[in-house]
Chains A and B, each alone.
Chain A
Amino acid sequence: MKGKRLLIWVGTAVTALVAAMGISFIGDEFAGKNAPFVSERNATLIARGAYLAKLGDCAACHSIPGRPPFSGGLSMGTPIGAIYSTNITPDAADGIGRFTFADFDKALRYGVADGHTLYPAMPFTSYYNTKPEDVQALYAYFNYAVEPARVPNRASDIPFPLSMRWPLTYWRWLFGSKPVPFKAPAGFDTAQVQGAYFVDGLGHCGECHTPRNAFMQLTAVNRADGPQYLTGAIIESYFAPSLRSDGAGSLRDWSEDELAQFLRTGANSSGIAFGSMSDVIIHSTQYLSEADARSTAHYLKSLDSQDRNGQSFAYDPSSDKALKRGDANSEGALVYLDNCAACHRPDGRGYERVFPALAGNPVVEARSPESVVSIIFRGSTTPRTPQTPAQFTMPGFDWRLSDIQVMQVANFVRSNWGNRGPQVTLDDVARLRTKSH
């Protein structure tokens, strides 16, 4: 009796669906252990919250130009439609003014708000480790120091039924980090502890710098969680490089001082920030206290390298000598001379904190060609901080260079002066030319 069998199948499917949704609903409602909030307009607490909000870079998603701070509205593309960041000002109607401390904590560390799981664009998978006193500071800041703004949240562009949220609960259960407060890993010195707390947590460096798996979950959320932690990942049309010290394309040759300087000013003798990292420097890490910047650098430099036998970069002067001799026969040499050498120089050393060196530059040597090729196409402007008020712009060359020329010059810079970056293919270049528009 086909009809009855069909009915049984449909009935079972519907029941399973309803059960799944119900379980998700219950799971979201009861997520999070309630913690009490000490409700005071404590200036020290608020100031600490302001600092932590900068470190967490809440503004990156929740503040957009032309709108009141933290009122949301940033459009973030997904394969199924754009989603929009929410209003986290203390407005009672449109913002989080009605959030209790428990609600706030749940959103921040568990990724649950308004009865549903948040899209992991909200990096609760990193914020999970925030200490209770710091969550209190952030709550105090957002309640007492941010101006309430009547800006309603914008619904996502995702069409029904894909807009249903309940599958996210399962994602969170499978892939979200266990929201336990930060505990200092054994064997860490004080600076490492401080650095790890920031990098693994509010700094959420891994959200860009750690590779993801098939369901877009991070392959590792901290050092203990797996060897892929901070080994580099593709973000938009750039490659966020490895933050470990494991060979070509990593931070192996950056000292702690240089790393700290980079975080606070966007530039050091080895390179200058670009792409999304520029925004991070400008809105977030430039505000790191000197101590926090140092401990961050210390922690990153202490990460075990996968390739302890990897050599340090060794500068090779023969490329420079060849160019100065008038020998431009190697692939891409002439393109380099005609377009790049004016600023980056025949010796590939650029000018410190003006035009980044290409020789020994982790971005140039990275295993993925995304950044190098995207920058050749679109150029880049250095970030502006109080210590670096002058901004330098590399122009884009997409109008001037063919795909073949871009491939040639990318290979030139990746293989000269001692650089050992892998070859770029014509397919890579063609793909990135369209991606950059």
Chain B
Amino acid sequence: MTTPRRLKPADAVIIGYGWTGAILAKTLTDAGLHVVALERGPARDTSPDFEYPRIADELRYGIRGELWQPLASETVTVRHTLNDTAVPYRKYGSFVLGNGVGGAGVHWNGMLWRASPEDLRFRSHIEQRYGKHFIPAEMTIQDYPVSYEELEPHFDHFENVCGVSGVAGNLRGTLRPVGNPFEGPRSNEFPTPPLPAIYAAQLFEKASAELGYRSFPIPSANSSVAFTNPYGVRLGPCNLCGYCERFGCFLYSKASPQTAILPILAERPNLEVRTSAYVIRILQDSSKKRATGVVYIDENGQELEQPADLVVLSAFQMHNVRLLLLSAIGTPYDPSTGNGVVGKNYAYQMCGGTAAFFGDDVPINPFIGAGAAGLRVIDEFNSDHYDHSKVGFIGGAMIYAGGTGGRPIEQMLLPPTVPQWGRGWKAAVRKHYRHSAPVTLQGTVMSYKDRYLSLDPTYKDKYGIPLLRITFDWHDNEYRMAAYTASKMEEIVRQMKPESQATLLMKPGNHYDVRIYQSTHTTGGAIIGTNPENSVINRYSQSWHLPNLFIYGASAFPQNIGYNPTGLLAALAYFSADKLKSSYLKSPGPLVSS
């Protein structure tokens, strides 16, 4: 094995050039550092990669995943329990992995939530409200070492960077008749107004109001009007084209690193972006108290060493954890003893849905849709927004209506009783396509002792490097949460008065099935906390282990929320970026005493 060729040192190296990589690239180059950003995938930009009309190709991008990580080169292995043998995830199903400049920020839907204030101190909150013994022993949930109030300006800033469309429910402590009644106080109104509800969402709005719920527009990083963000970057307007998640946006409207941040980084002389640069290891010095750079494989298969004084790990939740384990940074979590933190508290999301099938007179027109804009949601049953004393579980789900599009392969909602092929299927499609609407629940998953990430003992990527192994299955808590919130969802759908409806839901006995899409909101493994025994990073996303290593992404979440994670992980990144600017860069060292 030859020694990697050593390159000229940089002040900082960024691993992964997606959302948090771009945020940190801006922060560090603003501060005058010479920064090298390494992205394992290709360069990507709206033009030429997401151009209309070629991007509106469901087979190419939505099924074959041309913008995603090629699983044949690198994937993960999955098993349910500690006694099982994990096998590779060979075909996309349950979650979708980004690749290339922009990462998953290119193909996401753009649902841009904050967290509820109680989400950030979830353990304490539950214990205070329901008693110390309410949380089952096998649940390893814990508080964030940072509060909603501290993160609020950063939530606000990122929402402005993304031109988020929506309406505030709680403006500086004043509750308003519109917007989310459960949200924490916002210092400002949303930067752009919400798009009108698509028809399915209008029906949901009416039905949920009749049942006494407060629906509101989902906060959408699908800018509703042409908008210039605080960096001077202009975003385009969303026109509900129906090709949101899985696709790049051709209208410059879905916020992505490309549309929101990269234009101002484009000509910075102190930023160097290298694509097709696959980082395989973070290097430490002999004392193992300092990171010294990274080793990566370039497009010619050469191993290169990029030395740097500061290492930013922003490679996506799963890859962050994999790199920490491969680089032997920190103690890997051992579920049998409970020791170690790297890989601990892996969590996911539990989703379900009810499809409403209407008659010919109800023009749902599902092809009118966007990732988040035009949809309506209720938050009554999410988080701890309602009394859980008698329900027998912790957590909840947001419930929203409207589809993100009417794409023929994956978004053809049909009653479960119709034939799966042939003449009968075609007749069913003709009957139902323009008249069916989905209502979806997206719910919390807690963290548990026996749900974690580690390195696989058998399977390797195309370079011979061990894959990450996911040990995960649902717990009773989540089945009960889903059953309860689904019953509320079904009630709303009945109120919408369809001709028929059908619910898809995980029940006890249904194991985690990697073939069925849930969401890509995988979390944990490098969690945030108050000390090195209970976490991998401190409140500034700084590694307890190596003070010049900062780790960003949903790997920080100690348990998952019901909302989409991007808002929270971006706020944590901006919170950390501020501290880098004000303290760390002037005087590097541990920012929190441990």
Q: List residues of chain A with CB under 8 Å of any chain B CB.
A: 338-339, 342-343, 351-355, 381, 384, 386-393, 395, 400
Q: Which of A339, A386, A393 has the most CB of B within 10 A?
A: A393
Closest beta carbon of chain B to A245's beta carbon, Å: 27
Say yes or no: B47 contacts A343, CB within 8 Å.
no
In whole angstroms, how far apart are the Cα atoms of A390 and B259 in the complex? 7
Interface string of B259-271 (1 = CB under 8 A from A): 1000110100000
B117 within 8 A of A: no
Say yes or no: B52 contacts A343, CB within 8 Å.
yes
Specify which chain B residues have a CB less than 8 angstroms from the CB of A355 in the assembled complex.
236
Closest beta carbon of chain B to A354's beta carbon, Å: 5
Interface hits, B214-228 → A, CB 8 Å: 225-226
Specify which chain A residues have a CB less than 8 angstroms from the CB of B51 in the assembled complex.
393, 395
Closest beta carbon of chain B to A336's beta carbon, Å: 13
With beta carbons under 8 angstroms apart, the residue of A351, A381, A391, A400 that contacts B237 is A351
Question: In the complex, what residue of chain B is closest to A399 when comparing beta carbons?
Answer: B54
B241 within 8 A of A: yes
Can you report 8 residue pairs joining A to B where beta carbons are below 8 Å apart? A339-B53, A342-B239, A343-B52, A351-B226, A353-B234, A391-B263, A392-B252, A395-B51
Interface hits, B230-284 → A, CB 8 Å: 231-237, 239, 241, 250-252, 259, 263-264, 266
Specify which chain B residues have a CB less than 8 angstroms from the CB of A339 in the assembled complex.
53
A354-B250 contact given A343-B52, A393-B47, A395-B47, CB 8 Å threshold: no
Specify which chain A residues have a CB less than 8 angstroms from the CB of B519 in the assembled complex.
none
Say yes or no: B226 contacts A354, CB within 8 Å.
yes
Question: In the complex, what residue of chain A is closest to B231 when comparing beta carbons?
Answer: A389
In whole angstroms, how far apart are the Cα atoms of A354 and B253 in the complex? 10
In whole angstroms, how far apart are the Cα atoms of A354 and B52 in the complex? 15
Say yes or no: B52 contacts A342, CB within 8 Å.
yes
Specify which chain A residues have a CB less than 8 angstroms from the CB of B237 in the assembled complex.
351, 354
In whole angstroms, how far apart are the Cα atoms of A238 and B252 in the complex? 26
Say yes or no: B241 contacts A392, CB within 8 Å.
no
Specify which chain B residues have a CB less than 8 angstroms from the CB of A393 in the assembled complex.
46-48, 51
How many of B's residues come within 8 Å of A, CB to CB? 25
Specify which chain B residues have a CB less than 8 angstroms from the CB of A389 in the assembled complex.
231-233, 263-264, 266
Question: In the complex, what residue of chain B is closest to A396 when comparing beta carbons?
Answer: B51
Specify which chain A residues have a CB less than 8 angstroms from the CB of B52 in the assembled complex.
342-343, 395
Specify which chain B residues have a CB less than 8 angstroms from the CB of A343 in the assembled complex.
52, 236, 251
Specify which chain B residues have a CB less than 8 angstroms from the CB of A392 in the assembled complex.
236, 252
A-B contact sample (15 more), CB < 8 A, given A351-B236, A390-B263 = A342-B52, A342-B250, A343-B52, A343-B236, A351-B226, A354-B234, A354-B236, A354-B237, A355-B236, A389-B232, A389-B266, A391-B263, A393-B47, A393-B51, A395-B51
Closest beta carbon of chain A to B392's beta carbon, Å: 49
Say yes or no: B47 contacts A388, CB within 8 Å.
no
Closest beta carbon of chain B to A395's beta carbon, Å: 4
In whole angstroms, how far apart are the Cα atoms of A389 and B250 in the complex? 18
Question: In the complex, what residue of chain B is closest to A345 when comparing beta carbons?
Answer: B239
Specify which chain B residues have a CB less than 8 angstroms from the CB of A353 in the assembled complex.
226, 234
Majority secondary structure of chain A interface residues (helix, strand, loop or mixed): loop
A352-B226 contact given A342-B250, A389-B263, A395-B51, CB 8 Å threshold: yes
Specify which chain A residues have a CB less than 8 angstroms from the CB of B264 in the assembled complex.
389
The 10 A-B pairs of least Cβ separation, nearest first, read: A393-B47, A351-B226, A389-B263, A395-B51, A390-B263, A390-B233, A354-B226, A354-B236, A390-B234, A389-B264
Specify which chain B residues have a CB less than 8 angstroms from the CB of A400 in the assembled complex.
53
Q: Which of A338, A354, A355, A391 has the most CB of B within 10 A?
A: A354
Q: Which of B46, B234, B250 has the most CB of A within 10 A?
A: B234
Closest beta carbon of chain B to A130's beta carbon, Å: 31
Closest beta carbon of chain A to B249's beta carbon, Å: 11
Specify which chain A residues have a CB less than 8 angstroms from the CB of B236 in the assembled complex.
343, 351, 354-355, 392
Question: In the complex, what residue of chain B is closest to A341 when comparing beta carbons?
Answer: B239
Closest beta carbon of chain A to B22's beta carbon, Å: 14
A387-B232 contact given A343-B52, A351-B237, A353-B226, CB 8 Å threshold: yes
In whole angstroms, how far apart are the Cα atoms of A387 and B228 in the complex? 10
In whole angstroms, how far apart are the Cα atoms of A355 and B238 in the complex? 13
In whole angstroms, how far apart are the Cα atoms of A351 and B252 in the complex? 11
In whole angstroms, how far apart are the Cα atoms of A343 and B237 in the complex? 9
Say yes or no: B251 contacts A342, CB within 8 Å.
yes
Specify which chain B residues have a CB less than 8 angstroms from the CB of A381 in the assembled complex.
47
Interface hits, B51-86 → A, CB 8 Å: 51-54
Specify which chain A residues have a CB less than 8 angstroms from the CB of B234 in the assembled complex.
353-354, 388, 390
Interface string of B82-121 (1 = CB under 8 A from A): 0000000000000000000000000000000000000000
In whole angstroms, how far apart are the Cα atoms of A342 and B233 in the complex? 21
In whole angstroms, how far apart are the Cα atoms of A352 and B236 in the complex? 9
Say yes or no: B252 contacts A354, CB within 8 Å.
yes
Interface string of B459-473 (1 = CB under 8 A from A): 000000000000000
In whole angstroms, how far apart are the Cα atoms of A196 and B456 in the complex? 74
Specify which chain B residues have a CB less than 8 angstroms from the CB of A395 in the assembled complex.
47-48, 51-52, 54
A342-B47 contact given A355-B236, A390-B233, CB 8 Å threshold: no
In whole angstroms, how far apart are the Cα atoms of A386 and B232 in the complex? 9
Closest beta carbon of chain A to B223's beta carbon, Å: 10
Interface string of B315-356 (1 = CB under 8 A from A): 000000000000000000000000000000000000000000
In whole angstroms, how far apart are the Cα atoms of A120 and B233 in the complex? 40
In whole angstroms, how far apart are the Cα atoms of A355 and B250 in the complex? 12
Closest beta carbon of chain A to B373's beta carbon, Å: 15
Question: In the complex, what residue of chain A is closest to B234 when comparing beta carbons?
Answer: A390
In whole angstroms, how far apart are the Cα atoms of A351 and B250 in the complex? 14
In whole angstroms, how far apart are the Cα atoms of A391 and B48 in the complex? 12
Specify which chain B residues have a CB less than 8 angstroms from the CB of A354 in the assembled complex.
226, 234-237, 252
Question: In the complex, what residue of chain B is closest to A386 when comparing beta carbons?
Answer: B232
Specify which chain A residues have a CB less than 8 angstroms from the CB of B252 in the assembled complex.
354, 390, 392
Interface hits, B30-55 → A, CB 8 Å: 46-48, 51-54
In whole angstroms, how far apart are the Cα atoms of A352 and B226 in the complex? 7
Specify which chain A residues have a CB less than 8 angstroms from the CB of B46 in the assembled complex.
393
Specify which chain A residues have a CB less than 8 angstroms from the CB of B48 in the assembled complex.
393, 395
Closest beta carbon of chain A to B419's beta carbon, Å: 33
Specify which chain A residues have a CB less than 8 angstroms from the CB of B251 in the assembled complex.
342-343
In whole angstroms, how far apart are the Cα atoms of A389 and B228 in the complex? 10
Question: In the complex, what residue of chain A is closest to B239 when comparing beta carbons?
Answer: A342
In whole angstroms, how far apart are the Cα atoms of A354 and B223 in the complex? 13
In whole angstroms, how far apart are the Cα atoms of A290 and B440 in the complex? 54
In whole angstroms, how far apart are the Cα atoms of A338 and B47 in the complex? 19
In whole angstroms, how far apart are the Cα atoms of A384 and B266 in the complex? 10
In whole angstroms, how far apart are the Cα atoms of A390 and B252 in the complex? 9
Question: In the complex, what residue of chain A is closest to B250 when comparing beta carbons?
Answer: A342
Interface hits, B290-311 → A, CB 8 Å: none
Closest beta carbon of chain A to B247's beta carbon, Å: 13
In whole angstroms, how far apart are the Cα atoms of A400 and B250 in the complex? 17
In whole angstroms, how far apart are the Cα atoms of A386 and B233 in the complex? 10
In whole angstroms, how far apart are the Cα atoms of A387 and B237 in the complex? 19
Question: In the complex, what residue of chain B is closest to A343 when comparing beta carbons?
Answer: B251
Closest beta carbon of chain B to A338's beta carbon, Å: 8
In whole angstroms, how far apart are the Cα atoms of A386 and B234 in the complex? 12
Question: In the complex, what residue of chain A is closest to B241 when comparing beta carbons?
Answer: A342
Closest beta carbon of chain B to A37's beta carbon, Å: 35
Closest beta carbon of chain B to A17's beta carbon, Å: 54
In whole angstroms, how far apart are the Cα atoms of A100 and B320 in the complex? 64
Question: In the complex, what residue of chain A is closest to B232 when comparing beta carbons?
Answer: A389
Closest beta carbon of chain B to A21's beta carbon, Å: 50
In whole angstroms, how far apart are the Cα atoms of A389 and B26 in the complex? 14
Closest beta carbon of chain B to A176's beta carbon, Å: 39
Closest beta carbon of chain B to A406's beta carbon, Å: 16
In whole angstroms, how far apart are the Cα atoms of A73 and B252 in the complex? 37
Specify which chain A residues have a CB less than 8 angstroms from the CB of B231 in the assembled complex.
389
Question: In the complex, what residue of chain B is closest to A388 when comparing beta carbons?
Answer: B234
In whole angstroms, how far apart are the Cα atoms of A353 and B226 in the complex? 8
Closest beta carbon of chain A to B33's beta carbon, Å: 20
